[in-house]
Structures are given as C-alpha cells and as structure tokens.
Amino acid sequence: MGELLRSQDMELVQLFIEMEAAPDSVDELGRLGLMQFRDLNPDVNAFQRNFVHEVKRADEMERKLRFFEEQTKKAGIPTVERDIDIHTLNRNSGAAMDELEVQLEELERELVQLNTSQETLERNENELIEMQHVLTKNAMYLGGASSGAEGADVENAMLRSPLLGGGADAGVDGKGGDAARSSGFVTGVLLRDKLNTFTRVLWRALRGNLFLKHAEIDELIKDPNSGELVEKSVFIIFYKGRNSGNKITKLCEAFGANLYPCPDSAAQTEELGVQVRQRLADLRTVLERSTVHRQQRLRTISENLELWKCQVLREKSIYHTMNLFDYDVGRKCLIAEGWCPRESTEQVQLALRAAYERSGAEIPSIAQPKASTLTMPTYFKTNKYTEVFQDIIDAYGIARYTEINPTVFSIITFPFLFGVMFGDVGHGSLLLLMSLAFIFFEKQLQRGKMFEMLEICFNGRYMLLLMSLFSIYNGFLYNECFAIPMQLFSSNWQYETMEKGALAVRNSEHYAYPFGVDPIWKGAENELDFYNSLKMKMSVLLGVIQMCLGIILSLFNGVHFRKPYNIIFEFIPQILFMGLIFGYMDFLIIYKWLKDWSVGPYPPTADHQVPRLLNVMIQMFLSPWTVPEEYELFPGQVYIQLAIILVAVVCVPMMLFPKPYLLKWEHEKKMRAQQPANYMPVDGSNVMGDEEADEDDEHGEEFDFSEVFTHQAIHTIEFVLGCVSNTASYLRLWALSLAHSELATVFWEMTIGFILDSKIANGFTLFIAWGAWAGATVGILLGMESLSAFLHALRLHWVEFQNKFYAGDGHKFAPFSYKRIFSGEDETINAME
Amino acid sequence: MSVGSMLSFNTNDGYLDGIVRGYRSGILTAADYANLIQCDTLDDLKLHLQSTDYGDFLANEPSPLATTTIHDKCTEKLVKEFMHLRDQAVEPLGKFLDYMTYGYMIDNILLLITGTLHERDITELVEKCHPLGMFESMPTLTVAKTASELYNSVIVDTPLAPFFQDCLSEEDFSEMEIEIIRNTLYKAYLEDFHRFCVEELGGTTAEVMGEVLEFEADRRTITITQNSFETELSKDDRAKLYPSFGKLFPEGTRSIGQTSTVAELRKIMDSYGEFSEIFTDMDEELKKLENAFDMHSIKLNRLSFEQCFHYGVFYSYVKLKEQEIRNIVWIAECIAQDQKSKINNFVPIWP
C-alpha cells in the first residue's frame, strides 16, 4: 500500500554510451523496461535524425515481411504460432541483421519471380479454358443454327453462308480482317456483369446491324490479376461490313473481352478442341509442379515469419529510441537522458555493464543522476489486483508527481459505494459467481481472445469480486435477496390480524433485530417511508465522511509539498466549514436515531412533534439566534448553532483572501532578493535544489496577481457551493438503491409473484414466469443496473471525492520496454510519432 | 428546400459535414511543407508524410519510390474519402457530389478522344483517367470518330448528355475540334452546376458555391481568350465558349471577346479589381497566370470553410486536396530530379 500511496521517486539519469555499445545498451534497457527516454532533439525532423537510415531499413524489412505474410495467407498456409519471448531471445549482432536483410531480399525476389511465372501459367491456363468453352458453346450455335425456327436464326444462317464459301483461311480467323469479305463473326469471352452494357453499346455503335448470342459459362474462372473467381460468358457476334468488324474489335478491346478465333466447320472445331485439351493437360502438370514448389517456399517462410517479425521490430525500436539521443561527434559517444525510478538505478547500471561487456566497446558506459527542474513522470507499481483501480483513477487524470493517490482509498470505497447502490444478496451472489469464474479460469481466459464487452469485465475481475462482496453485505443490511426479505432472525414485530391495513405490534421493548433491517418492513404500508428515511440519511452520512477524508488528504498533500498556506488557508477553513455545517447535520441524524421518540402518544400530537431535520437545518440558517420549540432536539442547541454559523462565515474570507496576498508578498520578497543576485556569476541559479526548483515552476517568474486571485476566488466559491451540491449529489446512493430494489420487486411481482397469486399456477406457467423473471434479472438488473451503479460510483469518486485534493495533472511514466512494444501498448514505434 | 437552413442541415448532412471538416484538418500545414522541402530523397518524403494524416499509405511500396506512385497513392486516398462521402450522402447532397464528378468525366472523355486520335493504347489511357470521372461505358469512347457519333453511342447514357447538345457536329475529330468540345462542355457544365447550386440548393450553398463557380467561369473566359491569340479560332466562335455567368459577364465578357493581344486583355482586366491584381505581377508567361489563378481559387475554397451549413465545403475540400497532391508531386519531382532551386514554386494551401 505504501508504494501506491505516493508515486515512485524518480530520477533523471544521464547516460554516456559509446557508439558501439549503444544498440546493445538500448536493448538491455528495453528488456529491463524501467527507463523513459527524453527526446533530446525535439527540433530535428524525423528524417534528419542520426539513425533514420537504420529505422528505414527496418521499415523496408517489415514491408517484405508483410508481403510474405500476405502471400502465405493467400496461399492458405497457416502461420506457425511460436511462443517467442523477446526477453530471452538474444539480439543478433549488426552483421546478423545484415544477413537477415539479404536473406529477405533474396526471398522476396524469388517469390516475386515465382508469382510472375505462376501468373503467366495461370493466364495461359485460363485462356485455354475459355477457349475450350468458346469452342463447345459455339459449336452448338454454328452447328445447330439452322434447326431453329426463329427469325434470328434465319438471319444467322444467311450471314454464315458467305463465310462458309469464303475460303480455307476462314477457319483460322473468323474476324473480317480480309478486305475481300464484308461480313463475319467474332467469338470471345467477357465478364458477365459487363455483358449488358456491351450489348447496348454494340447495338448503338453498329445501329443494330449485328447479331449477338451469348451463353453463360457454368464454372467460375480465375481472374489472373486479382486471383478471384469471376463469372464469365461466351459470346458470338455476327456482323456485316469491314468497318463494323473494326469497331467490334475495338469495343471488345475496350471492354476487356478476350477474343478467340473459332473455326466454322464442326470437324475443325473438333480438331482444335482436342488440341486445346491436350495443351491444357500439359499446362496443368507444369502449373501443379510450380504451385507445389511455391507452397514449399512459403511454408519455410511462414515457419520463420514470427521470429523475423520480432527481430525486425526490436531492431526498429532500438534505433527509434537511439534517435532520441544526442550524438557527441567529438567524443564519439551518445548522450541519453531519461527517467527511471530511483530504486532501480542500480539495475540500470547493471544493464549498461552487461551491454558494455557484450558489445566489446572500449569505454564502459556511464550513468549519472542529473538535477533538473523538469516535472518527473508519475509511476505507480501496481499488481494485477490494484491495476484496474489505478486505471480508473488514471482515466480521470494522472496523479501529479508524488501527490496522494486516491487509488489506495478507492480500492475499498469504490466497491463499497457500488454495493450501497446495488445492495442485494441474490444479485450480489450472481456477480460473485461471475467474478470467481473469471479469477478461477484466469490463466485460460488470458490466453484466448474474448468478446470485447466480456474482456472489459474480465479485466476488472478483482474489482468485480469486491463489488459483489459489498453488494452482498449491503443486501444483508437491506435484508433483500432478489428483493425478497430473508427471515434470518425472529422479527420484533407481529401483525395482529392478517387483514389489510392491520397494525403491527412490538413484541419486546428491549429486542432489536440483530443485523440489518427487520424483514417485517417489507410489504408494510409505510415501507417506502421507512426505507427512504434510512437510505437518505445513510447516503448523507457516507458522503460527508468521504468528503472529509478528501479534505484531510489535502492536508497530507500540503505537508508533503511543504505548502503552509495551503494548510492554513485552505485545509483548516475547509475542514471547519465542512465539518461544522455538515458534520453537525450528521450529528443531528445520529442523535435523532439514538433518542427514543416512542415515549409520546402515537400518532404524535401537535405539541409533541418529532423535529424534521431538514427544517431544523433551514431554520438554523434563516434565524440562527432562535430555535423554535418544535425544532429543539437537545438543550443549548441555539448556542451551538450560532457558533457554527459564525465560524463557517469566517471561514469563507479565510479561504478567499490571505493566500493570494501572501503569495504576492512572498514573490515580491523573492524578486528583491534576486535582484543583486543577477550580478553574481551565472552558477548561482544552478545551486537551487529540486524542491525550490519545483516551487519555482509552480509560481513562475511572472506573477500575475489578478490571475492568482481569480483562481482563488473560483476555488473558494466552488468549494462553498460544492459542499452543498456534493452532499446532495451523494443522495444518488439513496436514489439508485431505491430504484434497484423497486425494480427487483416489480420484476418479481409481475412474473413469479403474479403467477403464484393467480389461479393458473402450475409447473408450466411457473416455468414461463421464471424465464421472464430470470431474463429481466440478468438483462436489466445485472446488466444495466449494475452498469449504472458502477458509473454513479465512478462519478462520486471522480467528482465529489477527488475534487477535494487531487490535482491529477501529472504525466504517466512510459518506459521503453519490449513488453509494452510487443504487446502493442506502446504505439510510438509503429506510428513513428 | 434551402439547404442553408441551420435548423435542418444537420439532420441529413451533419455527419458528412463533420467528416469533411475533419478531413480538412488533415491538410498539410505550412510547417509540414517546410519539412517536406528539406527532404533529400523520396524516402525522406515518405517518412515525413507518415507523420501526417497520410499515415502509412506508402508503407507497402518498395523503395525506390517513383513520383507517379506517390501521385497515384495520394489520389487513391482522396478518391476513397470522396467515395465514402458519396456513399453516405443523402439527396440533394448526393446530386451535388455527382455534379462534382462530372468535371472529371469531361476530362476523361477528352483524354480518351485525344488519346485515340494519337492512336495510343486504350488500357494505358484508361489507367490515366481520373478515378472520380469513371463511368461504365467509358472505354467505348475510342470507337467514336465524330462528336455526334460520340453522343449517340456513349454520352447518351451518361449524365453529361445535356451538356453535349451544343457540340454535335458530324466532322471528324481534330485537335481544334477537341478543344472546342472541351470548352463547350465545360461551359455547359459550369452553367448547369451554377444553376443547380444557386436555384435548386440556394441558401449559404448558393452564396459560397456561387462565388467559387463564378471565379471558375471568369477564369475559363480569360484562359480561353489568352489561348486563342494567334490561332485560327474566330472571335465569334470564341465568344460562344464563354460561360454565361460570372463576375465578368456580360460586359466584361463582351469586351474580352474583342481583344486579340495580351496587352488589350490586360487593359480590360485593369478595371476589374480582383483580376487586375492577378494580372499585374504577371509577365507574358502563362505559367505564372495559372499559378495566380490557383492561388486565388485556393483562397476562395479556403474561405468556404469559414461558413457553416452548406455544401461548398465538400467541393472545396476536394479542390484543396487536389492542389495539395499537386504540391506533393511537385516537391517530389524536384527532389527526384535534383532541382532544389525550384522546390518552392508550389502553391501553399495555408498561408
């Protein structure tokens, strides 16, 4: 806990590393993961940095690896999953990296070559397949055209007649290329979805002087460019005139149609078909062989892919980090600066030594602490239990360096406030089961990928555990299990008759229900009145306690940062204001609870009223000098109330005025003292210690009084008003818990309760009702209600609690660590800033 | 419906408006350019562009990079963004965005016709076409020999058909003919777009787009005139090409129609405030005039982001981004050809 209360002491360390030892040193530090490097050349462009060449090389290698990955994926080869632990994997020397680069280069070239040859082969294959289709389909048209009775077919036959007599060369090319011929036909294959446009355009371009037939190819044909399977159609166009022929050829070209010459006699077609089949068979054997070869290559690649990726990414991250360093040309060494936790400087030294020995550099690297005025990063050591709580606080704002960390308190208060709003033994138990399942199967679940919403719950499993425990605890306090009271002990009350409107009588004067609320209240006519009063008062009590804790924490901050003004003129008036006004209210609540009001007659008569606390408080502010009889709770109340009001009123100017004036005075004093100092050697300013330097940062050289004063005024107003509104804000505890219990009651009464009361209660109807009830309970209460209770607890912590003391303007410690880079947490390397 | 109304604009177009304004913040700043011009190699350029909104768009390109790859990839990114907007758009924004693509269609058609005239390979030509101006039957253009043939076989199917009515001739294409077709088409296109923005959309869109399109119209008028000096184009034919709206229309346009030398042109321009500025620091050189026009057009497009609840931002974003791509390519070319002295001759988008 001590570690979590304040962030780790950090130190700015300056490293002098010889050039040769630098990559290894960075590597060692990356494994250690405890050093956050500062950018020492913020003004230098990304491409003008010292090691940009190495980073680019790694980029290029990454590109090749991505290419391989894509290729293996396309070929359907599963990537070989390998558990690579970068911490144990030795870093290759520079030469090995060069080797890897050459290897990748060669592999890429080979793969590209294989791809092109494969593509050519596939294209040939496709052409042959298409041709085969053209031949078979067109054989039908050309052979069986005359058998058709349609007019088109007559035209078809007419067109064909000159062609048939045209000569022996007609079989080689059906196009009207020969000037002597004035008509002919074209056959080819086209993408099916282009066919419509194609037909329309052809019609228009040739003014309808053509005849087009098409048939779908049943199988899908692979497109050699994209490798996808596409639908295609065979078409045949008969036309007249040479010009038309040229136009058609041009259009076909424009539409990307493949033309295949088709002989016009059946015998020739047959012959060509046999040829095509023969060639296709040959081609397929070749293609198969080349595919096998390629698969083999890819398989060897995929085995090493993971390893290479790790190595390249590591290399890239190392040089990317080295780009942050300052290069001292004269001494041939790199100067790095970075923060590390003070207690880990020893480890950093060891890592540097190890790197020095490994790299065989001549001069050992030096690490020395450096004084600076820079704000240190905030670093909390968390474990898997505290991590999620810290994350919730970080989501609001990272703690200022070494200020009090609210996480320590949130670990208990957060689940507790959740429990207050979600108090139900039954619902709590269900949550408990879920969190226990998460924790029990932690190892298995961590490995696999999860559904996003579930993953969020899984990450918060320890918080869920505490939340469910507290909601069970509060459930016992409210005495509710799925909104049904539990009769754990005997009740102190008893109904005289079972009729509606009957009064309950007390069994014993000296018995009280031992734990939680007496179950008799459930279903009583004044149930709500009772629960409201109880929960409302409880919320205010909890709220004031938590806010007072917040104010007291500001005292610790004041002491830690040595700011006496913050203690005297902020903490003291604040705690007085809060403690007196709202503390007094709490006192009244408890006083009223403890006093036995039942001695009088029931119902109370006019002269024997129980004072309403709200009215007492209002009366106290409206006329503090008198307390009417009906508002008197205890003797001497008027003096105490008067004193409270007076002190509270004095507190407000105490908060507002002294601090800015004192700061101004102090600043002027300092300026006067510094004036002669200007004539002293420049060294003078460097002597200042860390603490003073921090102080310097805080107030700045230029002191703007009006700004400071306005700030203080806002702060004061916010606090005074905040006291009222924040206390009221805690009433959400009451509201949420009321809503929760009412919803649960309604769900019960509308489903199972309704069936049980009605005449149709049997196994089947109960089964249906149970389903509805369970669905509503899980979906609405456990799902939505718990989320809403969670959010309200979150708000109470972020706003009502933390605004009393938490600055939250620090920046998080982000060390250079392989663990973070390889888990994808650190994105700077991939994004190159 | 007036799209300028504050009350209803966000119902349909708020999401896209937000997106396009987000895209706008990704436009390179002066600091980015300052860094880019310091690059020594194209790899440096790529490295710097990685730190901007372009991200890793070049990550999968093997070194050494070619400037054409940079250009293609940049355009691809812009087209992707535009198509996203188009896919999400609700009418009448959808139509507005379609109007924007018509300009590219005209360019593509003319590119293909010119290409065929010089007997270039079609697939090569199609690759050169702007992806925003692609349409289905585009490759068919190559078949057409005359304008009316072109119209009947291809254009009839496209939204450009109405623009074509003024240039249906039976003559075979020639260089001159193509230029006339281009300008006639553009004239019809600009007029229609202007009418659409001003009359159908109205509101702030009319205000902003009116300004931008009027400048485009004036710019065309001046450029046509200047290019026509010492050519066969008669003054009457030339006058037919001038868009019939804009700041210069009608008196300015009429007097420009009478000029036949640059000096005369400049004299007329002197009486039009914004143009006289553009003309004063211009030599006879055409390049400089183009630059000055670009500068002014960028200024107008930049200004359109100052207003809310209108469609002009979509137009302006694409125009600004196009200029940015031209700038990047210019810088890349200067680096690739080692012409560092000229590297500053790009048109910065943010002053």
- Which of residues 48 through 87 in chain B touch A, CB cutoff 8 A? 48, 50-51, 59-63
Radius of gyration of chain B (CA): 21
Contact A46 B47 (CB under 8 A): yes
Question: Three-class SS of residue A169?
Answer: helix
Q: Report residue B191: phi and psi, to 5°.
A: -60, -45
Burial of A255 per CB tally in 10 Å (0-12, 13-18, 19+): buried
Quick one: pLDDT at residue A121?
85
Instruction: Name the closest residue on chain B to residue A59, using Cα atoms.
Output: B59
Instruction: Name the closest residue on chain B to residue A43, using Cα atoms.
Output: B35
* Mutation to test the A interface, candidates B36, B134, B136, most A Cβ within 10 Å: B136
Quick one: pLDDT at residue A137?
74
Angle, alpha carbons A258-A263-A265 (nearest 5°): 150
Highest mean pLDDT among A324-338, A342-356, A569-583, B200-214: A569-583
Quick one: pLDDT at residue A394?
92
Q: Least CB-CB distance to B140: which of A46, A251, A832?
A: A251
Residue B220 pLDDT exceeds 60: yes
Angle of helix A52-74 relative to helix A266-322, nearest 10 degrees, comes to 150
Length of chain B: 351
Asked if residue A611 has a cis previous peptide bond (ω within 30° of 0), the answer is no
Quick one: pLDDT at residue A148?
37
Least Cα separation, residue A47 to chain B (angstroms)? 5
For A598-616, b where at least 16 C-beta lie within 10 A, e where not — what string?
eeeeeeeeeeeeebebeeb
- Residue A576 Cα distances to A277, A449, A647, A649, A661, angstroms: 100, 53, 8, 10, 22
Least confidently predicted of A84-93, A790-799, B83-92:
A84-93
Query: What is the DSSP secondary-structure string of B286-344?
Result: HHHHHHHHHHHHHHHHHHHTTS-SSSHHHHHHHHHHHHHHHHHHHHHHHHHTT-GGGTT
Percent of chain A with pLDDT over 70: 86
Long-range Cβ contact pairs of B281-285 (< 8 A, separation 24 or more): none
Q: Least CB-CB distance to A832: which of B35, B51, B141?
A: B51
Q: Report residue B119: phi and psi, to 5°.
A: 55, 55
Contacts of B156 in chain A (CB under 8 A): 204
Work out the pLDDT band at B281, boundaries 50, 70, 90: low
Identity at A681, one-letter amino acid code: P
Q: Least CB-CB distance to B139: which of A45, A255, A833?
A: A255
Residues with Cβ within 8 Å of residue A371, at least 6 apart in sequence: A12, A686, A689, A690, A693
Global confidence as pTM:
0.71
Contacts of B52 in chain A (CB under 8 A): none
Instruction: Name the closest residue on chain B to residue A829, using Cα atoms.
Output: B51
DSSP letter, residue A796 = I
Residues with Cβ within 8 Å of residue A202, at least 6 apart in sequence: A210, A212, A237, A248, A251
Residue A99 pLDDT exceeds 50: yes
Contact B47 A197 (CB under 8 A): no
Contact A205 B143 (CB under 8 A): yes
Q: Report residue A327: phi and psi, to 5°.
A: -105, 120
| Tokens 């207690």 found at | A343
Tell me how crowded residue A710 is: count the other CB atoms within 10 A of its CB.
Answer: 12
The number of C-beta contacts closer than 8 angstroms across A and B is 65
Work out the pLDDT band at A378, boundaries 50, 70, 90: very high
Identity at B174, one-letter amino acid code: S
- The structure tokens listed for A831 are 């994004």
Residue B83 pLDDT exceeds 90: yes
Least Cα separation, residue A317 to chain B (angstroms)? 16
* Model pLDDT for residues B91-107, shown as the tens digit of each residue: 889 999 999 999 998 88
Tell me how crowded residue A786 is: count the other CB atoms within 10 A of its CB.
Answer: 23
Q: Least CB-CB distance to A56: which of B43, B139, B142?
A: B43
Residues with Cβ within 8 Å of residue A805, at least 6 apart in sequence: A404, A406, A550, A551, A553, A554, A557
Percent of chain B with pLDDT over 70: 92
CA A612/CA A592 separation, integer angstroms: 10
B34 touching A, CB under 8 A?
no
Cβ atoms of A527 and A566 within 8 Å: the answer is no
* Model pLDDT for residues A542-578, shown as the tens digit of each residue: 999 999 999 999 999 999 999 898 899 999 999 999 9
Q: ipTM above 0.85?
A: no
Least confidently predicted of A23-27, A233-237, A714-718, B209-213:
A233-237
Contact A205 B140 (CB under 8 A): yes
Contacts of B61 in chain A (CB under 8 A): 63
Least Cα separation, residue B94 to chain A (angstroms)? 24
